[in-house]
């Protein structure tokens, strides 16, 4: 459609011919006719351009030109395929990693929640800095106080988790984690049902019918989205409940649950302890801001009401614990644990991108030096600086767009991996998807890289006389270019160093954690969850069930011992609620002084023998320690040493602090055992008091010591338990060693991900250093030739190149180290804490990089020493 | 092409070139040179169209769909690009002619008021 320039010129020519012929016909001399016609026409080029401009806008022209350049660029890149592929893959890694991490960050930190008006949905909690906890839940009396007096929050929703044994929906009885909520919970959360209805105020109170709502995940994965589920009656713990609806997909906060039930389903929630005891904190609290109220206003009012509540009940709030209240939006609450790790990941991804870019910059710089003569010729023929830059930009655009495209292809699987990884820190990560915004990010990164890369190479000097001379002599490297190459290589080393030190730190921590000594026998002990149908439902029946189960399992072949308790080390995170204050013989707290706190663990006889914890003094519990015999206790060595530093702990007495709401019966200490820390994988001296299971608590965990492979016992143990009670759930059998491994999964993943980043960085950096040296050696062929000709030893040349490589690495490490110190300083300013890496990770990373740099310079060094003297000298 | 102040030829009024081209092509196809000559002749040498503005104007009119162009052979047997009025170009010519006569009347009223203008 659009006439091209040739057609426009044709038209002008025909006009001139017509004009000339007319003049000749009028009798003019042909020569002067031609002259006059041309004169009358004026500038041919100007006429052509103004016709051209009718059809082509300036932008269109520029774009067409760029396309033309891109076509040329593509062709020239096809000739240097190896380089192109290296560049594209390097960029793809950098862009892919960034896109994946960005997707996860966006879904965790930036995307809105499905909850209605999520900005006004609050998460409220108590803090007790005095006893080192930032996250204290609420008791029902506390919630009652807040509910009746706080006006800036229009409604409160409460939520506590309970493990129920669920029978129904076919299959074996299973333990489900259930949320127990009040009637306003769903309204406060602003969630809707996808099926049936949700729990509302008519389901509140002890006289309502027991009902349950299924979470979307449970409904879709376990029940295959069965639409007929509403109205079904299931057994939930001790009683029946009717399924009334299915919740819409939403962030499972505060806990991943399968079922959410009303209060009447849980005997524990109806009990006096739950209802009356101010210390019995197991409930999470949510609130909705009243119309017109602000978060700051609500915070101030909550603090005021809370302070007066604490003041009114001094017996329940020790001054030492300094119990306070905090509120934030649910969105912030959900995102906060993941924020640090995600920002770290983002930083790591950004560093990888920088490394990738500087490596690509090096490759491109090297290439552009090789074609300096080509550019010089073009400049001499009148190409403007702009035109030369356009050529370079076209080529780097081709490379970067290809890299970005490949990177975005990579992003999809990477997002899946990263999402599963980040889900350990924030449930929202599971929502992460690759979508339009990631494509935008990829495009922006690609263009950014392309523009940067186009401006990296130096344009040929516009002093034409000197510019043309290299055309004859192959590559000539200028000191400036060489310096730039080395700067980029050092940048890569510096960034790799940072990543490697970070990865080394995490690996060292992980290593320390997974090999830390514990007093437990890690390999031979199998821990099994044998939960009672619902907390508070068991009593004496549970005790006799366990008694009989232990007797039968103990008699099985291959079983060396069996014991019960309430806590599987490390795995049962709720165990910290078994932490109480206590008093002891010969200790009289001064005014305002607090009784000490420690862990309380109800265990069966032979618990210590089964788990391999040595008894240091006194005796173990026996079957004779029952509710109707003398109250006794066994303490850990830390307790014995700290409380009774002068003498024997055995036969002294201790008792639970009456303010805990438990019986303050004096208990005689009958034994002292080694310290074990069942909360932290890295053991710290722990004050623990063990009580006989018949006198305190309710067993829910079995420990079986195996003679051979513990897992071989799992089927027979399960069968034995089912013989006793067909509906008994038996779950999560694992050796203590595997429990620890499982608990360390997030750390392992952290270490793995950062090592992967470090590995990629190292790989790219090695390619980078090798490339720079190969290039610098290639450019100095003549120099090496002369040096060899005048009697220089090849060995010396090799050493020179190796020295060059090591120098780049050393510079990089130094800069990286300084950067690291700066980063630590920034992190400390921003987050308050920053761990300095140990000597080992730093030294390790430095050694690794120097070794890699030497390795990378070996090949170029060998090439330098094998330069053919004659060939080299002839080349000029 | 410079012109001295005593040159009797007139500058074209802004925006009238398009109209003149359309008008010239009313009787049949013509090439660019012919159009320029025709305008000069019909204006009794008073209007002179610069080729530098004639050709862009022709292309503009083609782009807007008022003219169509095709290569052909001139009466002197030379290859030349001929422009032809399209139906929409004809309609445009009528619109421009109306507008032009209104403009002439309006300006005429101001420059040479007649008693009719007072009504």
Q: For residue B33, which residues of chain A lie inside 8 Å, CB to CB?
A: 14-15, 18-19, 22
Are A492 and A812 contacting, i.e. CB atoms less than 8 angstroms apart?
yes
What is the Cα–Cα distance from A41 to A856, expressed in whole angstroms?
Answer: 67
Are A212 and A166 contacting, i.e. CB atoms less than 8 angstroms apart?
no
Extract the tokens encoding A640.
Answer: 């014995």
Nearest-Cα distance to chain B for A763, in Å, is 57
- CA nearest neighbour of A313 among A82, A141, A522: A141
Nearest-Cα distance to chain B for A443, in Å, is 35
B76 CB near a chain A CB, below 8 Å? yes
CA-based nearest residue in chain A for residue B74:
A18
CB contact under 8 A, A18 and B59: no
Nearest-Cα distance to chain B for A417, in Å, is 55
Cβ-proximal residues to A466 (8 Å cutoff; 6+ apart), any chain: none
B81 CB near a chain A CB, below 8 Å? yes
Phi, psi for residue A251 in degrees, rounded to 5: -65, 120
Q: For residue A40, which residues of chain B lie inside 8 Å, CB to CB?
A: 1, 51
B55 CB near a chain A CB, below 8 Å? yes
What is the Cα–Cα distance from A164 to A236, expressed in whole angstroms?
Answer: 6
Cβ-proximal residues to A683 (8 Å cutoff; 6+ apart), any chain: A516, A517, A518, A519, A675, A676, A677
Query: What is the Cα Rg of chain B in Å?
Result: 17
CA-based nearest residue in chain A for residue B37:
A19
Nearest-Cα distance to chain B for A37, in Å, is 11
CB contact under 8 A, A11 and B81: yes
Extract the tokens encoding A559.
Answer: 């079983």
Extract the tokens encoding A759.
Answer: 């590995």
Q: A690: which strand partners? A: A601, A634
Extract the tokens encoding A146.
Answer: 């807040």
pLDDT score recorded for residue B1:
43
Which residues in chain A show pLDDT less than 70? 1, 110, 130-134, 320, 337-338, 340, 369-370, 422, 424-436, 456-481, 533-539, 576, 589-594, 658-662, 827, 830-837, 872-876
Nearest to B78 among A17, A39, A40 (CB): A17
Cβ-proximal residues to B78 (8 Å cutoff; 6+ apart), any chain: A14, A17, A18, A21
**A842-859 burial, b for 16+ CB within 10 Å, e for fewer?**
bebbbebbbebbbebbbe
What is the Cα–Cα distance from A750 to A748, expressed in whole angstroms?
Answer: 5
Q: What is chain A's mean pLDDT, rounded? A: 81
Q: For residue B63, which residues of chain A lie inside 8 Å, CB to CB?
A: 54-55
Phi, psi for residue B91 in degrees, rounded to 5: -60, -40
B34 CB near a chain A CB, below 8 Å? yes
pLDDT score recorded for residue A298:
92
> Which of B49, B59, B83 to probe the A interface (max A CBs under 10 A)?
B59
pLDDT score recorded for residue B22:
92
Nearest-Cα distance to chain B for A23, in Å, is 12
Q: For residue B79, which residues of chain A lie inside 8 Å, CB to CB?
A: 14
Mapped onto helix, strand or coil, the DSSP state of residue A628 is coil
pLDDT > 50? residue B117: no
Q: For residue A50, which residues of chain B lie inside 8 Å, CB to CB?
A: 52, 55-56
pLDDT score recorded for residue A205:
84
Tally C-beta pairs within 8 A across A and B: 58
B113 CB near a chain A CB, below 8 Å? no
Q: Strand A259-262 to strand B67-73: parallel, antiparallel, or no bridges (unpaired)?
A: unpaired
- CA nearest neighbour of A613 among A517, A702, A716, A735: A517
Q: A418: which strand partners? A: none
pLDDT tens digits, one per residue of B29-87: 999 999 998 998 888 888 888 888 889 899 999 999 999 999 998 888 888 999 999 99
Cα maximum dimension of chain B: 58
Q: For residue A3, which residues of chain B lie inside 8 Å, CB to CB?
A: 59
Interface of A with B (CB under 8 A): 3, 10-12, 14-15, 17-19, 21-22, 39-43, 46-47, 50-51, 53-55
Are A176 and A260 contacting, i.e. CB atoms less than 8 angstroms apart?
no
What is the Cα–Cα distance from A713 to A719, expressed in whole angstroms?
Answer: 10
Q: What is the dihedral of CA A73, A76, A80, A86, to 10 degrees?
A: 10
Residue A111: DSSP 8-state:
S
CA-based nearest residue in chain A for residue B32:
A15
Q: Is the dihedral of CA A801, A803, A806, A808 positive or negative?
A: negative
Q: What is chain B's mean pLDDT, rounded? A: 84
Are A506 and A747 contacting, i.e. CB atoms less than 8 angstroms apart?
yes
> Which of A5, A6, A11, A39 to probe the B interface (max B CBs under 10 A)?
A11
CB contact under 8 A, B33 and A18: yes
CA distance to A267, A280, A578, A656, per residue, from A662 (Å) = 19, 11, 12, 7
Q: For residue A23, which residues of chain B lie inside 8 Å, CB to CB?
A: none
CA-based nearest residue in chain B for residue A13:
B80
CA-based nearest residue in chain B for residue A22:
B76
pLDDT tens digits, one per residue of A114-137: 888 888 899 998 887 766 566 778
Mapped onto helix, strand or coil, the DSSP state of residue B28 is coil
pLDDT tens digits, one per residue of B87-109: 999 999 999 999 999 989 999 98
CB burial of residue B68 (10 Å; 0-12, 13-18, 19+): middle
Nearest to B63 among A18, A42, A55 (CB): A55
Nearest to A54 among B33, B52, B63 (CB): B63
CB contact under 8 A, A42 and B55: no
What is the Cα–Cα distance from A474 to A876, expressed in whole angstroms?
Answer: 8
Are A481 and A575 contacting, i.e. CB atoms less than 8 angstroms apart?
no
Q: For residue A47, which residues of chain B lie inside 8 Å, CB to CB?
A: 51-52, 55-56
Q: For residue B65, which residues of chain A lie inside 8 Å, CB to CB?
A: none
> Which of A1, A3, A18, A20 to probe the B interface (max B CBs under 10 A)?
A18
CA-based nearest residue in chain B for residue A36:
B1
% of residues, chain B, pLDDT over 90:
45
What is the Cα–Cα distance from A13 to A645, expressed in whole angstroms?
Answer: 114
Mapped onto helix, strand or coil, the DSSP state of residue A1 is coil
Are A355 and A90 contacting, i.e. CB atoms less than 8 angstroms apart?
no
CB contact under 8 A, B63 and A14: no
> Which of B3, B56, B73 to probe the A interface (max A CBs under 10 A)?
B56
CA-based nearest residue in chain B for residue A2:
B63
Residue carrying the six token digits 């290569």? B71
CB burial of residue A692 (10 Å; 0-12, 13-18, 19+): buried
Are A37 and A5 contacting, i.e. CB atoms less than 8 angstroms apart?
no
pLDDT score recorded for residue A672:
92
Phi, psi for residue A86 in degrees, rounded to 5: -55, -50
CA distance to B66, B67, B83, per residue, from B87 (Å) = 7, 9, 13
Nearest-Cα distance to chain A for B115, in Å, is 46
pLDDT score recorded for residue B91:
93
What is the Cα–Cα distance from A602 to A600, expressed in whole angstroms?
Answer: 7
B79 CB near a chain A CB, below 8 Å? yes
CA atoms within 13 A on the CB side of A606: 16
What is the Cα–Cα distance from A366 to A609, expressed in whole angstroms?
Answer: 70
- Report the complex ipTM: 0.84
pLDDT score recorded for residue B25:
93
pTM to 2 decimals?
Answer: 0.60
CA distance to A347, A767, B106, per residue, from A492 (Å) = 15, 10, 77
Three-state SS across A469-495? Answer: CHHHHCCCCCHHHHHHHHHHHHHHHHH
pLDDT > 50? residue B118: no
CB contact under 8 A, A46 and B52: yes
CB contact under 8 A, A21 and B79: no
């Amino acid at each position: 459609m659009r006439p091209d320039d040739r057609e426009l010129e044709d038209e002008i020519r025909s006009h001139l011919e017509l004009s000339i012929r007319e003049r000749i016909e009028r009798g003019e001399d042909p020569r002067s006719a031609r002259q006059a016609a041309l004169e009358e026409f004026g500038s041919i080029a100007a006429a052509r351009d103004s016709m051209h401009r009718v059809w082509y806008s300036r932008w269109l022209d520029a774009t067409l030109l760029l396309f033309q350049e891109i076509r040329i660029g593509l062709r020239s890149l096809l000739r240097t395929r190896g380089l192109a592929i290296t560049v594209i893959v390097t960029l793809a890694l950098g862009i892919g990693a960034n896109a994946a991490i960005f997707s996860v960050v966006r879904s965790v930190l930036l995307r809105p929640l499905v909850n209605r008006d999520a900005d006004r949905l609050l998460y409220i909690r108590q803090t007790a800095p005095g006893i080192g906890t930032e996250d204290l839940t609420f008791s029902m009396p506390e919630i009652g106080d807040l509910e009746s007096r706080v006006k800036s929050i229009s409604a409160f929703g409460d939520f506590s988790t309970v493990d129920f044994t669920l029978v129904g929906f076919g299959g074996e009885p299973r333990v489900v984690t259930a949320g127990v909520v009040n009637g306003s919970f769903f309204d406060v959360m602003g969630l809707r049902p996808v099926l049936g209805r949700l729990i509302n105020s008519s389901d509140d109170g002890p006289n309502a019918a027991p009902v349950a709502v299924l979470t979307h995940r449970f409904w879709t994965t376990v029940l295959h989205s069965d639409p007929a589920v509403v109205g079904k009656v299931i057994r939930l713990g001790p009683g029946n409940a009717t399924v009334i609806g299915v919740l819409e997909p939403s962030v499972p906060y505060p806990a991943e649950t399968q079922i959410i039930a009303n209060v009447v389903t849980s005997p524990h929630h109806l009990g006096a302890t739950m209802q009356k005891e101010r210390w019995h904190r197991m409930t999470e609290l949510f609130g909705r801001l009243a119309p017109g109220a602000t978060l700051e206003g609500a915070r101030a009012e909550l603090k005021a009401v809370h302070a007066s509540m604490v003041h009114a009940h001094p017996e329940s709030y020790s001054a030492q614990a300094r119990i306070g209240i905090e509120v934030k939006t649910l969105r912030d609450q959900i995102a906060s644990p993941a924020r640090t790790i995600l920002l770290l990941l983002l930083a790591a991804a950004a560093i990888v991108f920088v490394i990738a870019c500087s490596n690509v910059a090096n490759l491109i710089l090297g290439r552009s030096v090789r074609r300096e003569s080509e550019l010089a010729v073009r400049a001499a023929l009148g190409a403007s600086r702009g035109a030369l830059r356009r050529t370079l930009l076209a080529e780097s655009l081709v490379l970067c767009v290809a890299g970005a495209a490949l990177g975005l292809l990579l992003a999809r699987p990477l997002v899946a991996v990263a999402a599963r990884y980040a889900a350990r820190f924030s449930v929202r990560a599971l929502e992460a998807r690759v979508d339009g915004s990631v494509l935008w990010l990829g495009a922006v990164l690609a263009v950014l890289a392309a523009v940067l890369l186009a401006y990296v190479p130096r344009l040929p000097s516009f002093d034409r006389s000197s510019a043309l001379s290299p055309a004859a002599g192959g590559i000539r490297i200028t000191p400036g270019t060489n310096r730039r190459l080395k700067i980029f290589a050092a940048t890569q080393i510096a960034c790799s160093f940072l990543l490697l030190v970070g990865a080394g730190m995490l690996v060292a921590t992980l290593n320390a954690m997974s090999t830390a000594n514990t007093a437990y026998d890690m390999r031979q002990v199998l821990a099994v969850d044998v939960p009672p149908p619902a907390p508070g439902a068991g009593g004496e029946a549970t005790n006799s069930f366990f008694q009989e189960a232990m007797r039968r399992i103990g008699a099985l072949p291959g079983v060396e011992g069996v014991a019960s308790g309430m806590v599987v080390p490390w795995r049962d995170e709720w165990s910290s609620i078994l932490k109480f204050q206590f008093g002891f013989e010969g200790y009289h707290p001064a005014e305002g002084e607090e009784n000490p706190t420690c862990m309380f663990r109800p265990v069966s006889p032979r618990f210590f023998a089964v788990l391999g914890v040595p008894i240091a003094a006194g005796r173990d519990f026996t079957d004779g320690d029952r509710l109707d015999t003398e109250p006794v206790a066994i303490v850990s060595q830390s307790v014995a040493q700290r409380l009774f530093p002068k003498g024997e702990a055995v036969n002294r007495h201790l008792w639970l602090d009456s303010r805990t709401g438990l019986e303050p019966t004096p208990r005689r200490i009958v034994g002292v055992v080694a310290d074990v820390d069942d909360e932290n994988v890295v053991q710290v001296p722990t004050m623990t008091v063990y009580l006989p299971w018949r006198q305190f608590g309710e067993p829910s965990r079995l420990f079986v010591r195996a003679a051979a492979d513990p897992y071989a016992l799992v089927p027979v143990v399960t069968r034995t338990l089912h013989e006793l009670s067909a509906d008994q759930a038996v779950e999560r059998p694992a050796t203590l060693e595997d429990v620890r491994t499982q608990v360390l999964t997030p750390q392992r993943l952290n270490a793995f991900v950062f090592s992967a980043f470090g590995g990629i960085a190292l790989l790219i950096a090695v390619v980078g250093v090798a490339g720079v040296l190969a290039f610098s050696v290639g450019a100095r062929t003549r120099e090496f030739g002369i040096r060899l000709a005048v009697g220089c030893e090849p060995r010396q040349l090799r050493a020179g190149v190796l020295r060059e490589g090591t120098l780049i690495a050393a510079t990089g490490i130094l800069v990286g180290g300084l950067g690291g110190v700066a980063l630590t300083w920034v992190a400390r300013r921003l987050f308050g804490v920053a761990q300095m890496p140990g000597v080992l990770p730093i030294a390790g990373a430095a050694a690794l990089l120097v070794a890699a740099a030497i390795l990378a310079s070996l090949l170029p060094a060998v090439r330098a020493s094998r330069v053919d003297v004659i060939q080299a000298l002839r080349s000029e | 092409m410079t012109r001295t102040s005593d040159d009797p030829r007139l500058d074209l009024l802004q925006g009238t070139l398009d109209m003149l081209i359309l008008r010239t092509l009313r009787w049949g196809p013509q090439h660019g040179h012919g159009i320029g000559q025709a305008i000069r002749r019909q204006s009794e040498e008073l209007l002179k169209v610069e080729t530098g503005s004639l050709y862009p104007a022709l292309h503009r009119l083609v782009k807007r769909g008022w003219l169509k162009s095709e290569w052909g052979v001139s009466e002197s047997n030379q290859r030349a690009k001929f422009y032809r009025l399209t139906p929409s170009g004809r309609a445009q010519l009528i619109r421009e002619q109306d507008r032009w006569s209104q403009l002439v009347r309006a300006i005429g009223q101001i420059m040479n008021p007649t008693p009719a203008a007072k009504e």
